[in-house]
Amino acid sequence: MASDIIGVIVWSERPKELADFYSGKLGLVPVSERGDFTAFEPHPGFRFSIGGLHPDVKGPNKDSSRIMLNFSTSDIFADYSRLSELDIPFIRSPEKEPWGGWIATFLDLDGNTVQLMQISE
């Protein structure tokens, strides 16, 4: 039985540009780069990877709401401001959720939905 999620792979026809987006704009640090595959480890035991050359992946994401990548932040307003200055167009500015946290949403270069989440104020 599965007991934990240990990774996510986002496949892309332009993996280098997408990996550069996540490292250059979001500040993720690659822990492994092998050909068209880049892995990040935002915390021990969890890999977030960008890969290319998947035979079933063509073009941008056609259903950006199907899967949302959520990244934790301790200051959503500072990150929202910084990323906006880097010309990332947000589709949802920071808003407080009924459960008490904050969310801001944008699309990455391939049209995948990315959310910044601040769990506590």
- For the chain, the domains span 1-56, 60-121
pLDDT-based confidence at 100, cuts 50/70/90? very high
- Higher confidence at residue 104 or residue 120? 104
CA dihedral 16, 110, 46, 36 (to 10 degrees): -20
Q: Phi/psi at 85 (nearest 5 deg)?
A: -65, -20
Q: Would you tell me which CATH number, out of the four given (3.40.50.300, 3.30.720.120, 3.40.1440.60, 3.40.50.2300), belongs to the domain 1-56?
A: 3.30.720.120
Region of residue 71 (left: phi > 0; alpha: psi -120 to 50; beta: else): beta
> For residue 121, what pLDDT band results from cuts at 50, 70 and 90?
low
